[in-house]
Structure 1
Amino acid sequence: MKGPGLDAGVLGVLPVRADRLDSPEAVDEWLRSVGSVERSRQVGTMSREKLAGFVSLLDGATGPELLGSVDPDLATRIVGSADTAQSARWLETVGTDEAAEILRRLTNSGRDKLLDQIGGPQAEVLREVLRWPPTSVAAHMLPDVFTVPDSITAAEAEELVRTQSAQVRGRARHGALIYVTDADRRLIGFLEFQDLVLAQPDQSVAELSSDDPVWVRPLIDAEQAAQSLLDYELAALPVVDDQRRLLGVLTADAAADILEAEATRDAERQGGSEPLEVPYLRASPLRLWRKRIVWLLVLFVAEAYTGTVLRAFEDEMEAVVALAFFIPLLIGTGGNTGTQITTTLVRAMGTGQVRLRDLPRILAKELSTGFLVALTMAAAAIVRAWTLGVGPQITVTVALTVAAIVMWSALVSSVLPLLLKKCRVDPAVVSAPMIATIVDGTGLIIYFLIAHATLPQLAGL
């Protein structure tokens, strides 16, 4: 029995699967009993033929509801399985931001057909959003916002908001803010609905509005804008052009989606792979291969110099065979140290906690931490060397090398992400495999240089 607030779709206790539905009424009942995650899972596993049959059962109410509750990739597949007229009617009903995300994933011809079918002011609004780069905040903004001029009274503003609401009803989500503009639509302030409702009818909007709102330019990075919205604890972030004319707003929901997607992409890059852009279970082996192989080949080439280093010090290893025992331990320690620092630092950069100007503080913090880690790891290396019985000279060599590699890895991992960010390269590309690859070869060089300085057997080599 389904209790209050209990989602049967989340629990997996379903009366019927989506691919077994046979009527619009059954689809409506299925939507009421299934959560968004389960909807995506069931519909996403359908074959092309079953998806077409399922889509034919959707109507003017269930179609938009389904599109608004699944991920953009699946929503695009659903739209592609319906005829143009039906898809256009659905896109007219969903939010402008959701419709734009779906249209952006279609081919140019498919997008143009749908926009021609939609027509009217809404098609122009969608074309305006689609003309911005996908990574910009303007590509994620909501153009349909409530605006009132500063020269009217509260009563006139309330009537104007009602008119605007009727014009965009059903295809936009609005926050609790009304934006105040001048005669040229330049943003000058904002006010809340409750302030307008509770104001005296003859009170001026200019008196009610708050001055100097926080705003961003349309081409600013979407992730940066989303972070700004959170930093200032805003309900929505206005987007204005060079003349400060209001273009739209970034909503809190859109900002959360942007940050979640960016966190996912960063995590995938840090694992040495390009972002999938689709849910994992719907990614084909070919897509997974394409996303992973480039990085693997880059790392393969980069790792090749480790073999070159080993060959260059071949005589040293022949003279002191015990040196080879510790190579995996040393390069593994350096890679692990760098991975810890890079993961923490990249995430801090993504949330706006650190910037390039913070580099001196970061270096001081990480090198101080690295020194403590180096001492601890050197002590562990001494214990390990003692258990292998390699003698005091090699034990000293290994201990000094571990400490030096830890410090070197801390330096590289602290500086490189910030420098890449300065060069407009995503710092997430400094992934765990890349840091490990960089430290592997350089760590071996450090190892053999220290060995030359501490082991008399290597004199003259």
Structure 2
Amino acid sequence: MFNKDQIFQLLESRDGEALRALWQGRGAVDIAALLDSVEDGARQAAVFRTLPKDLAADVFSYLPGPTQATLARSFADGELQQIFDALHLDDAADFLEELPANLVTRILRSASPQRRMAVNALLRYPADSAGSVMTPEFVSLRPGDTVRQALDTIRRTGIHKETVYTCYVLEHRQLLGVVSAKDLLTAAEDAAVADLMVTDVVSVGTLTDREEAARLLAKYDLLALPVLDGEERMVGIVTVDDAMDVLTEAAAEDLSIMAAVTPDEKPYFAASAWEHARHRVVWLLILMLSAAITGSIITRYEDAISAVPLLVAFLPMLMDTGGNCGSQSATLVIRGLALEEIRPRDALRVIRKELAVAAIVSAVLAAANGLRIYLQYHDSAIALVISLSLAATVVLAKLVGCMLPIAAKQLHMDPAIMASPLITTIVDAGAVLIYFQAAAALLRLPV
């Protein structure tokens, strides 16, 4: 672990040799975490400038976007160019996306035309596409190469590539196959690459959804996934570390949506109270206004409530149980859709499964509550009303909870939108309507 006080003391004493020794053998991820924990921007820049040049770019690529922007503002043009040129192209593109326009102009003005064109090409892809997260830096081999020639190519160019563990065999930029570094290292030096390569290659297009690309990487246990353009030419790879970032970001976004919060890319403390409120208040307003439907249903049954005031005491239990049952089904279905265990065409199978679950759950809950109410109030009619209403509410909640996410997926919407808050609001209204209708019918109450 790093001692920040020790580092600051070495900075103040300008002991460069001790600082270089401190960084030696340390991982870029840990150093990035240390830098991110320094709140003073001037001190961040001072610590960063003590890093060896070959380590600085790696550390910079692991820093969060806001910290990268803070450091970039403190750099001179020469320092900016040095960092920008040392970054892998996909990291350089991500870096530019986080910066204000004036800083982007400064960086691109000092970059070489070739690098500027390469980064701009990545930035032109849609944000949710595989092209936006790919890197064009990969090892390419020719089918006629021998293993000796292939290893020479890796030694000569590998230092500038994102990964050397998987190499791609190309002819006229067309992907013919892949060969692993392990296969090359364990084969005879005069063996042909064409004889070692695997031709059944999983690939995606530049416009393929990036979450789909990440899922393919996980499904086939790949370290990298080739990306082809519209003319079937290989233009880049999506690496497993970038895929993990995509899936993590998607999971965080789904969690926000499921909690009725508009997703925000900023870290919690980086966003102001106003921004947090803005991302939450819209959904809260929608849910609050939709809850007015439940209130209007209750108002409609004022006469029934006046006749049997005890009915009101069971409303919270009924509504909470319905909301919980709906949330359980929705969560499992949303997870199944995300993992592709469930597809929209499986809707009828899901409904049958949830109806079977609802039958079991409703029977247990209805029996338990009916018995409790009878023992507590000695009123078999009330116990029957609650039991039947609870059973019907559970069935309704399970159906709503499983059907809405599938409907959203079918309409090309995020299934997470149909999560707990929305389902609870719908089920609450249905539960109240079922409850008072049952009470009016069985207890012969005025409606």
Q: What is the TM-score normalised by the length of structure 2? A: 0.90
In 2, Cα distance between the equivalents of 1:24 and 1:426? 54
Q: Aligned partners of 2:63, 2:15: CA distance in 1, in Å?
A: 19
For 2:171, the aligned partner's letter is: D
Instruction: Output the CA distance in 2 between the equivalents of 1:238 and 1:325.
Output: 61
Q: Which residue of 1 aligns with 2:329?
A: 341
Shift of residue 57, structure 1, vs aligned partner: 5.5
Aligned residue number for residue 279 of structure 2 = 291
2:8 & 2:376 partners in 1: Cα distance? 62
Residues 66 and 319 from structure 1, CA distance in 2 versus in 1: closer, same or farther, beyond 3 angstroms? same
Is 1:92 matched up with 2:48?
no
Deviation at 1:331, TM superposition (A): 0.7
Q: Deviations over 1:319-339 (max 9, x none)?
A: 221211111111111111111
| Two-structure CA RMSD over aligned residues (Å) | 2.7
1:307 counterpart (290, 295, 300): 295
Q: 1:164 to 1:17 in 2, by over 3 A?
A: closer
1:454 is aligned to: 442
* Structure 1 counterpart of 2:6: 16
Equivalent in 361, 370, 373 of residue 358 of structure 2: 370
Asked if 1:210 is matched to 2:203, the reply is no
The match for 2:110 among 113, 117, 135 is: 117
Question: So what's the TM-score if we normalise by structure 1?
Answer: 0.88
1:349 Cα shift?
1.8
Shift of 1:37: 6.4
Which of residues 251, 257, 260 is equivalent to 1:263? 251
Deviation at 1:200, TM superposition (A): 4.2
Partner of 2:230: 242
How many residues are treated as equivalent by the alignment? 444
- Partner of residue 208 from structure 2, selected from 220, 223, 247: 220
The answer to whether the 8 Å contact 1:89/1:118 transfers is no
Q: Does 1:158 pair with 2:151? A: yes
1:259-314 deviation per Cα after TM superposition (whole angstroms, max 9, x unaligned): 12211221222122122313323333222212212221221122121111112222
CA distance in 1, matches of 2:53, 2:298: 68
AA paired with 1:396? L
| Structure-1 residue corresponding to 2:368 | 380
Quick check: 1:181 aligned with 2:153?
no
2:167 counterpart SS class? strand
Q: Which runs of 5+ in 2 are unaligned?
A: none
Question: Which residue type is aligned with residue 176 of structure 1?
Answer: Y
Secondary structure (helix, strand or coil) at the match of 2:63 reads coil
Q: Distance in 1 between matches of 2:276 and 2:34?
A: 19
Contact 1:177 1:191 in 2 (8 A): yes
Contact 1:24 1:57 in 2 (8 A): no
Residue 73 of structure 2 aligns to which amino acid in structure 1? G
Structure 2 residue 426 is the aligned partner of structure 1 residue 433: no
Give a deviation string over 1:105-161, Cα, whole Å, max 9, x none.
Answer: 223443243123222433322222111112111111121011122244434433333
Deviation at 1:251, TM superposition (A): 0.9
The amino acid across from 2:397 in the alignment is S
Secondary structure of 2:325's aligned partner:
helix
Match of 1:68 among 61, 68, 74: 61
- Cα separation, 1, equivalents of 2:376 and 2:90: 63
Deviation at 1:257, TM superposition (A): 1.6
* Alpha-carbon separation, structure 2, partners of 1:435 and 1:70: 38
Alpha-carbon distance change, 57 to 154 in structure 1, aligned in 2, over 3 angstroms:
closer
- Give distance in 2, aligned partners of 1:34 and 1:146: 25
- Secondary structure of the 1:238 match is strand
Note if contact 2:154-2:164 (Cα within 8 Å) is conserved in structure 1: no
Shift of 1:31: 5.2
Aligned to 1:355: 343
Is contact 2:147–2:193 with CA below 8 Å preserved after alignment? yes
Residue pairs, 1:5-154, within 5 angstroms: 8-9=1-2, 15-16=5-6, 21-22=11-12, 23=14, 25=16, 28=20, 36=29, 39-40=32-33, 43-44=36-37, 46-48=39-41, 50-51=43-44, 60-61=53-54, 63-154=56-147
1:235 is matched by which residue type in structure 2?
Answer: L
Counterpart in 2 of 1:4? none
Distance, in Å, in 2 between the alignment partners of 1:41 and 1:446 is: 58
Which amino acid in structure 2 is aligned with residue 393 of structure 1?
A
- Please report how far the alpha carbon of residue 189 of structure 1 lies from its aligned counterpart in structure 2 after TM superposition: 0.6
Residue 326 (structure 1) aligned to one of 314, 321, 325: 314
Contact 1:18 1:27 in 2 (8 A): no
* 8 A contact 2:133–2:242 mirrored in 1: yes
8 Å contact 1:420–1:427 — kept in the other structure?
yes
Q: State which drifts further: 375-384 or 398-407.
A: 375-384
Report if aligned partners of 2:31, 2:59 keep a CA contact under 8 Å in 1: no
| CA–CA distance in structure 1, aligned partners of residues 83 and 274 of structure 2 | 32
